[in-house]
Amino acid sequence: MILGTEYKAYAKINLGLDILYRREDGLHEVDMIMASLALHDSLFFKANTSGEITLEMVGFFGNIEDNLIYRAAIKMQQKFDISAGVEIKLIKRIPVAAGLAGGSSDCAVTLNALSIIWGIAASTAEKKALAVELGADVTYCLFHKMARVTGIGEKIRFISTLPKIYVVLFKPKYGISTAEAYQKVSNKKINHIDIDMLEKKLASGSYDEICAAVGNSFEQPTFAEYPDLAYLKQVLKADADVSILSGSGPTIFALTKSIDKRDKLALIGEENGFLAIKTETKR
Mean pLDDT for each consecutive 10-residue tract of the chain (283 residues)? Answer: 83 96 87 98 96 92 86 97 96 94 97 96 95 95 96 94 94 90 73 96 94 96 95 97 96 97 98 98 90
Backbone φ and ψ for 268, nearest 5 degrees, come out as -60, -45
pLDDT at 64: 84
Question: Measuring CA to CA, which residue among 111, 124, 106, 105 is closest to residue 82?
Answer: 111
Question: Measuring CA to CA, which residue among 254, 36, 259 is closest to residue 144?
Answer: 36
Write down the catalytic residue from 31, 137, 239, 241.
137
d(CA 216, CA 17): 5
Which sequence spans correspond to the domains of the chain? 7-158, 166-280
Q: What is the DSSP letter of 163?
A: -
CATH code of the region 7-158: 3.30.230.10
SS3 annotation, 209-278? HHHHHCEECCHHHHHHHCHHHHHHHHHHCCCCCEEEECCCCCCEEEEECCHHHHHHHHHHHHHCCCEEEE
3-state SS assignment for residue 181: helix
pLDDT at 70: 97
pLDDT at 160: 85
pLDDT at 170: 98
Question: Measuring CA to CA, which residue among 225, 153, 149, 150 is closest to residue 185?
Answer: 225
Whether 18 sits among the annotated catalytic residues: the reply is no
Whether 25 sits among the annotated catalytic residues: the reply is no
Residues 6+ apart with CB under 8 A from 180: none
CATH code of the region 166-280: 3.30.70.890
